[in-house]
Amino acid sequence: MRRIGAYEAKTHLPRLLDEVEALPAEVQPKVLRTLADGEIQTVGQGGTRQVDVRVVACTNSRLEEGVKSGWFRADLYFRLAVVGIDIPPLRCRREDIAALAEHFARLASERFGLGPVSLTPALISALEAMPWPGNVRQLEHTITAMVALADGDIVDESLLPNKSNTGHACPAAMPIPDPASTLHERMDQIERRLILEALAACGDNRSQAARKLGMRRTTLLDRMRRLGLRDDGQDEAP
């Protein structure tokens, strides 16, 4: 049975290349060949197939500098640089912060199996005043951590970095994952940080941390083992 690869499955549809600057040197000529000739190497087979795929490439680096330095192919850069759109940093478009924060809060609550959450007006004002050197990704990680650690369905400014929360030190903003890592690796980094923060807030009590994260204790232990975290902490008496 012939396997269908990602590009072939998305024929005639736009394909997003996020953080294109992270493409390894050995992958860049393959992407160039697909863009230039419309050819892909079929999965598990020796031949090639024609595809018709439109590509939108995103980067947070100056690819021109990459071309000069030699870590990004000049021919691939010019193949991608057809229509350029320069998106200003988040600090220059603060009017977008409220809508983005609400969106990320909704995604986080769905991911953790929680009900709808509300961000307080004071929190929104605080978010709009922050510098956000990590741009939208930093905002996303911060909101994700706050939703995971909130008690109930109200997320307020007490969970922001450097704020106090019921006597515990508030966690720092989520770190920006390595741009060279895969999506699954980034998700693992975020999940690992959230679990560690929940455990710290609950005095290493697995049952309490599981409730804070909105999951069963057994699910938490399974995820901890998968992420390489020790699961020999405290627990409540039965």
Tokens of 205: 């009590």
Could you say which DSSP state residue 62 is in? -
The tens digit of pLDDT for each residue in 192-215 reads 888 888 887 777 788 888 888 888
The tens digit of pLDDT for each residue in 2-61 reads 444 444 444 555 678 888 888 888 989 988 888 877 766 655 555 666 767 778 888 877
The tens digit of pLDDT for each residue in 53-83 reads 778 888 877 888 889 988 899 999 998 888 8
- Under CATH, to which class is 90-226 assigned? mainly alpha
Superfamily (CATH) of domain 6-80: P-loop containing nucleotide triphosphate hydrolases (3.40.50.300)
Residue-range domain boundaries for the chain: 6-80, 90-226
pLDDT exceeding 70 applies to what percent of the chain? 75
Region of 209 (left: φ > 0; alpha: ψ -120 to 50; beta: rest) is alpha
Decide: 180 and 22 in contact? Cβ < 8 Å. yes
